[in-house]
A and B are shown apart, each in its own frame.
Chain A
């Protein structure tokens, strides 16, 4: 679990890791057998495990296994990344592998929200742009990239505008991406709202 004293996240810099494919679901990001645990410890090494093994069996290599992408921090993906289950184990495994930000054409909603809670900005670009970025990250794995959350920009061999909804963006910029402390500061209002809801108060 992340520290609760959240930090301001204005940008993420590092090498890129390209993982191609639409609709990559959370079962592929972290297979269910690695959910059999009461902590998130050690799940980073199992990220994309079945995809990695499947490719290895065919004599191919997944980017997460290629030496040149080790230590990469910014994940490039296609469309509807992280669809499927609500398991926070998915972004936890990517984070523990070393990913600090994700750039893609679109994200599944719960996955996006889980990433916000963990301090992992996910930004979107259009289809043509993500394909250019994936090409670039594949042809030059050593290039350095900076995702500028504040400036709506991804800078690197190719520099492009990126999108992120304003709510989560301001959460990163204000350091409020993990909302628990702010939620805790309104407990008396919580009680008032609860008291006005007949099914909670029992006063129909």
Chain B
């Protein structure tokens, strides 16, 4: 009987069986950011411990960093942010850990920079004090979001205590229609399985739609596994994975490359691997998704209406009513046409170069069809690259000009308005069309602010029209090629 990737990689990393019955598991790559690490470093200091493998530990600053150049002057005006930045600078220096700060050429959202430097590779165990660490599963690694106590465990021992997960294979069949992206696939999966449908599970994503995805799309997909309650999500490595990694700074080189590829092939799920559960989704039937509520499962296709509470099981109805009230939306109201005040394109879900390229292409298409078209006068729209390399490539390609000419703001890299720990925030009851991953109450910096999650191209359509708009018709994306797959 074959094994799946989760089983193979987990087994290779087990160090010991703990007295609790849990496993002590080696974490091969530890990524660190400024929000969840200072208390862990303080604990090491209290106990007189050192970082066990500083060369397997990499740090950056992303959550609190301002995205306007003038606000990046040191010391940062925000004294709390400055204190956090100094803490990670000092902690990484003291322990000999690489730190990618602003203007290092590699600063950015931790889940964007790991893959783009080639740090993230198949067959690894990866951890970071951040739930969206699941992103790195796109390469066929087991990537865990952890809390600060576990950050301290890994700093001190390069291991953490873990139980075994069940593995659910989610197969997406068919071919995505034009205007439908990885973001729509994962939102549809979460809508179907629920925000806690994945508890106790790793999600293995498979099938023709996943195989056809680029690495960046796979990252978008795996990124939001956690929003579906899964502990981790992954895609088996394949030629797309190897082609992405080849030549990247930390990828194996020369003779090692071929050996590495052979190793990576060996850890992929066997053809006869078994799974604890299987779910099949028809990718050809998917439309662009938009969330209307306060959890990522509360989404509809852009051409649908907001569902009636009666269509949900009774136990879920209180949350549905809470969502109507918080969002000021009503049952049976079409989601298309809901006005938006802010558009945010960025985050570890959709702040990579392919996302910005798709968004810029959409802008170009609209401006070509309607010369002079700009971001709606009622809308504040910002594009925030996920990292310094993304920013650099986008500027070399002239994408920033396409955005700024159309009235979008072009910012410096960071998490920005995904969770608004820096100055980028919603005000009051503003509605945001956001390419990020969480539409929780208050998530984008105003305790009463509202978030509609969607793909970058849908966000561009919302920016240009000032309301939720079906990108397929707005950008005249042909639907004919969809049926061929």
Contact = CB atoms under 8 A, between A and B. Distances in A.
Interface stretch (A7-15, A21-29, A133-141): A21-29
A184 B153 CA distance: 9
B52 A187 contact: yes
A86 B36 contact: yes
B263 A198 contact: yes
Interface string A154-179: 00000000000111101100101011
Contacts of A27: 419, 438, 440-443
Interface string B125-158: 0000111010000000000011111101100111
17 contacts: A22-B316, A36-B421, A37-B84, A39-B39, A54-B447, A80-B229, A86-B129, A86-B131, A109-B231, A110-B131, A117-B150, A167-B20, A176-B18, A183-B161, A186-B159, A190-B159, A200-B53
Contacts of A109: 199-200, 229, 231
B193 interface: no
Interface in B303-320: 315-316, 318-319
Nearest to B56: A200
A193 B195 CA distance: 35
A53 interface: yes
B47 interface: yes
Contact of B448 (A25, A54, A87, A168): A54
A189 B15 contact: yes
A157 B169 CA distance: 44
Interface residues of B, number: 84
A35 to B, nearest CB: 5
Contacts of B72: none
Contacts of B24: 179, 182-183, 186, 190
B81 interface: yes
Contact of A85 (B43, B56, B131): B131
A25 B263 CA distance: 39
Contact of B440 (A84, A108, A165, A199): A84
A25 B323 CA distance: 14
A144 interface: no
A79 interface: yes
B64 to A, nearest CB: 6
B152 A180 contact: yes
Given A27-B440, A37-B80, A108 B152 contact: no
B36 A32 contact: no
B288 to A, nearest CB: 24
Interface string B427-443: 00000000000101111
Interface stretch (B105-113, B252-260, B452-460): B252-260
Contacts of B200: 109
B43 to A, nearest CB: 5
B196 A83 contact: yes
A4 interface: yes
A184 B421 CA distance: 34
A28 B260 contact: no
Nearest to A188: B15
Interface of A: 1-2, 4, 20-23, 25, 27-28, 31-33, 35-40, 50-51, 53-54, 79-80, 83-88, 91, 106, 108-110, 113-114, 117-118, 127, 165-168, 170-171, 174, 176, 178-180, 182-184, 186-187, 189-190, 193-194, 196-200, 204
Interface centre among A2, A51, A180, A198, by most chain B C-beta atoms within 10 angstroms, is A180
Contacts of B47: 4
Interface of B: 12-16, 18-22, 24, 26, 28, 35-36, 38-39, 42-43, 46-47, 49, 52-53, 56, 63-64, 78, 80-81, 83-84, 87, 121, 123-124, 129-131, 133, 145-150, 152-153, 156-161, 163, 195-196, 199-200, 226, 229, 231, 252, 256, 259-260, 263, 295, 315-316, 318-319, 322, 419-421, 438, 440-443, 445, 447-448
Contacts of A31: 442, 447
B195 A38 contact: no
Contacts of B130: 85-86
Contacts of A168: 20
A1 B366 CA distance: 53
Nearest to B194: A80
A204 B256 CA distance: 6
Contacts of A40: 39
Contacts of B226: 110
B315 A79 contact: yes
A88 B419 CA distance: 16
A114 B147 contact: yes
Smallest CB-CB A-B distances: 5 pairs: A117-B149, A88-B147, A114-B147, A38-B38, A204-B259
B153 to A, nearest CB: 5
A19 to B, nearest CB: 13
A52 B65 CA distance: 28
Contacts of A166: 21
Contacts of A200: 26, 28, 53, 56
A86 B145 contact: yes
Contacts of A36: 64, 78, 80-81, 84, 421
